[in-house]
Amino acid sequence: MPIITVFSGRYCNEESIIEAIKGSTGFEVVRDGRIVADAARLSGLTETKIEKVFSSKASVFNRFTHERETSLAYLRLALSSLLEREGFILEGFTSLLVPEEVTHALKICLIADMGFRVKAAMEENFTSESEALKLIRRLDESRAAWVDMLFGLKDPWSASLYDIVIPTDKADQDSVKKLVRETLDKDVLKSGPRSISAADDFKLAAAVEVALVKEGHNVAVKARKGKVTLTINKNVLMLGRLEEELKTIAQGVPGLKAVETKVGPGFHQADIYRKYDFEIPSKVLLVDDEREFVQTLSERLLMRDMGSAVAYDGESALEMIKEDEPEVMILDLRMPGIDGVEVLRRVKQSQPDIEVIILTGHGSDADRKICMELGAFDYIHKPVDIDVLSAAIKKANEKIRLRGVFPKTANGVSEDRLLGSDSHCLR
């Protein structure tokens, strides 16, 4: 029995079309939320964090943490178990993860003319034409970014990705049901041995990909008849050592018959392969209006394998933490606009788990007292020895890791606090 995948634009009458297909086939509808929930259960990540992979904007820390690639790997693993079943409708972003080799999947795209979509958005949201157009374009940006990431295509509605593209503003439900029913009856959509084997290979590749990301690696994974190919798309100095490490990890996955490695088209570019070290801080936000100083500081931290992003004022920093979720913030006190004390206060009110290290050249004992009372992790004066600052960042990172190990007690205090902490030993 075949399956159906549906990828659609918003405000295309997509829900009624999907319900019509469901009524005609009797298939269950499986949406992104279910795949995300399964991926969260498998990975231990939050659903919110996994859902960010569907966003058009990757985190500024992603080149250090590979969180986007990790989320994608677990989504594939969750989906691979679903593909062991037949007779369902997979709707949403995850529908595009079904590989083309799984030929018993009927791939459908639902889209409509912009005028039709704008009118539908205006009616549903009680908004103006210009606001409706902005909303649709923002939603389409996420879909375009998703398709570009998966296939290198800029057009999310490209006919090359689908078996059927349905203009929902021109097709009635009866004609859609008839088209889908007739297509499902074709022999090409029968779940034969080759298509089932492709689904098995997809599951094997997903399992290998997860095994690799759990060890901090990010390479492309393909499987065919139990043989896995790992493609390295970034330059690496000791290629042979990396290849052996990747093969050793992959060989621990059940069902793998053979594994090979190769370099991809991106290998000879300037970007350097970086294995993610879970013990080293890689989500550090540096906030300082002295541009040359903070850029130099970022480069020196990177030399110590610490990934960091930079904000040059308090307003920018507060905007960044809404989307990019840094773990450690290095914060100057004297800045134009919102000063460091106010940034610290707002950060601790909205996202108290971010550990904030004050790094200032102008602070007083009174400032230090205020900052520590507001929840700063440490308070350090400029000029600072980079090794001293690195040690403080690592201690903040250790506290964050312990927070994940020790659950909160009944009164909301984490057990690492009860055990005692030397977090401020640098003071």
Segment 369-424, tens digit of pLDDT: 999 999 999 999 998 899 999 999 999 999 988 876 443 433 343 333 333 333 33
**pLDDT value at position 96?**
98
Question: In CATH, which superfamily holds the domain spanning 3-189?
Answer: P-loop containing nucleotide triphosphate hydrolases (3.40.50.300)
Residue type, 207: A
46 phi and psi, to 5 degrees? -80, 155
Chain-centroid distance of CA 53 in Å reads 3
Instruction: Quote the CA–CA distance of 191 and 98 in Å, as a whole number.
Output: 14
- pLDDT value at residue 194: 92
CATH number of this structure's domain 284-419:
3.40.50.2300
The pLDDT tens digits of the residues spanning 324-371 come to 889 999 999 999 999 999 999 999 999 999 999 999 988 789 999 999
Rounded alpha-carbon distances, angstroms, from residue 118 to 8, 123, 125: 15, 9, 10
Distance in angstroms (rounded) separating the CA atoms of residues 421 and 54? 38
Fill in the DSSP letter of residue 408: B
Residue 327 buriedness (CB in 10 A; 0-12 / 13-18 / 19+): buried
Paired strand residues for 107: 5
Strand ranges, E, within 271-395: 284-287, 308-311, 328-331, 355-360, 378-381
Same fold, 3-189 and 284-419: yes
User: What are φ and ψ of residue 298, in 5° steps?
Assistant: -60, -45
Query: What angle do helix axes 386-405 and 291-303 make, rounded to 10 degrees?
Result: 70
Tell me what pLDDT residue 395 has.
94
Segments making up each domain of the chain, as ranges: 3-189, 284-419
Task: Check residue 271 and give its pLDDT.
Answer: 67
| Burial (Cβ within 10 Å: 0-12, 13-18, ≥19) of residue 385 | exposed
Half-sphere CA count of 233, side-chain side, radius 13 A:
8
Contacts for 413 with CB less than 8 Å, ≥ 6 apart: none
pLDDT of residue 350: 93
H-state helical runs in 152-238: 173-184, 193-213
Please return the burial class of 142, using the count of CB atoms within 10 Å of its CB with bins 0-12, 13-18 and 19+. Answer: middle
Helix (H) / strand (E) element for 223: namely strand 220-224
Segments in the chain below pLDDT 50: 405-427
pLDDT at 404: 64
Identify the pLDDT of residue 405: 46
